[in-house]
Copies of this chain bind each other. A is one copy, B any other.
Amino acid sequence: MAVERPGTVAALGEFALIDRLAAVLAEAGAAAAPELLGIGDDAAVWTPTPGARGVITTDSLIAGVHFRLDWTGWRDLGHKALAVNLSDVAAMGARPRLAVVSLGLTGGEAVADLLDLYRGLGALAARHGAVVAGGDVVASPDRLGLHVTVVGESWPDAGGRLLTRDGARPGDLVAVSGPLGLAAAGLRLLLDGGRPAAAGDGALLAAHHRPEPRVAYGRALIEAGASAAIDLSDGLWGDLARLCARSGVGARIDAAALPVPDRVRDRFPDAWLDLAARGGEDYELLFTLPPAALEPLRARCAAADLPAPAVIGAIRPAPASGAPIVLRRPDGAEEPVVGGAFDHFGT
């Protein structure tokens, strides 16, 4: 790297940086325990729980594509880079065990900022009983990239069971684990010029910057007998379409039942439905369940201090032709849902 300003990664060097990051993780309670072997060997080691099945997921966040450093603080960025992966683990009805992180750095980053990144990452890992067990640090000359992989496993009392996308059956209810549209509304505020103006804008921005992965909710879904799940990263329409395609079914969603908070409806009276249904990044769980499983799930959510499931529609047989998903308007009219998930390459 050409530039070696004091306090930058380029000035400190790769190996000293790794030592500093490891120290931050230890402080956060997210370093590998002695029975695991973490940073400092060719690979990190863990002992799978006997009888558990393993899950693995990976997500990359690229500066200027997935985040903007002028909008997002470093600690929030570390939180989010892990949160999007934990959300995938949650959607499998699994619990996280460990993460590895590959950092692509320009070299011009301030070491203090990267330590903050790891504070955010470490705090979230520790909160979910996971460790950051290792990774890689490489030069990425043009822009920062965060590449996180999380390994999880089925919950100890689940008998190896996991939640997949392919189990939805006609007659099942469709539900979500929490409010829709908050994160997309927060992003809209940022795109519109940035400064919070109305009361409640802070909550919208927080939803965008610090999504909370629904790990405990995923456990409740496994225990209560949910039939399928996916996490809402690309928006309700896109992610529901994927779940329906994998399950070979269709779905009817009731517009009136969508749990869109008043602060989203009031702030964006013309756009709230689009924000909720196409906006993405809610990182709530979208799931299906037989009607008989609803009360058991409600009871588990209440006992675990989790939001009650919001039933938003029902699974029906896949139509012979036409849109698999229809939206029922408050007046009872049904309209087909067109368009789907966000495509990184815009086609």
> Is there contact, CB below 8 Å, between A43 and B59?
no
> Is there contact, CB below 8 Å, between B344 and A138?
yes
Q: Which of B1, B46, B61 interacts with A346 by CB under 8 Å?
A: B1
Indicate whether A151 reaches chain B with its CB closer than 8 angstroms. Answer: yes
Residues of A66-118 contacting chain B, CB below 8 A: 66, 88-89, 91-92, 94, 98, 100-102, 104-105, 107
The smallest beta-carbon distance between A198 and chain B, in angstroms, is 32
Contacts of A149 in B (CB 8 A): 56, 58, 100, 102, 149
Q: How large is the interface on A (under 10, 10 to 19, 20 to 34, 35 or more residues)?
A: 35 or more
This chain: copies in complex:
2
> Is there contact, CB below 8 Å, between A58 and B134?
yes
**Apart from A13-B343, A48-B52, A56-B134: 13 A-B pairs, beta carbons within 8 A:** A14-B347, A37-B164, A40-B246, A41-B92, A42-B89, A43-B89, A46-B56, A56-B151, A60-B145, A107-B344, A139-B345, A141-B142, A147-B147
Which A residues lie at the B interface, using CB under 8 A? 1, 4, 9-15, 37, 40-48, 50, 52-62, 64-66, 88-89, 91-92, 94, 98, 100-102, 104-105, 107, 133-143, 145, 147, 149, 151-153, 160, 162, 164-166, 229-231, 246, 341, 343-347
24 contacts between A and B (CB under 8 A): A1-B346, A10-B347, A11-B347, A14-B344, A15-B343, A40-B165, A41-B246, A43-B57, A43-B88, A43-B91, A45-B55, A46-B54, A47-B54, A48-B48, A48-B54, A58-B134, A59-B102, A62-B139, A62-B141, A66-B138, A102-B149, A107-B345, A139-B344, A140-B145
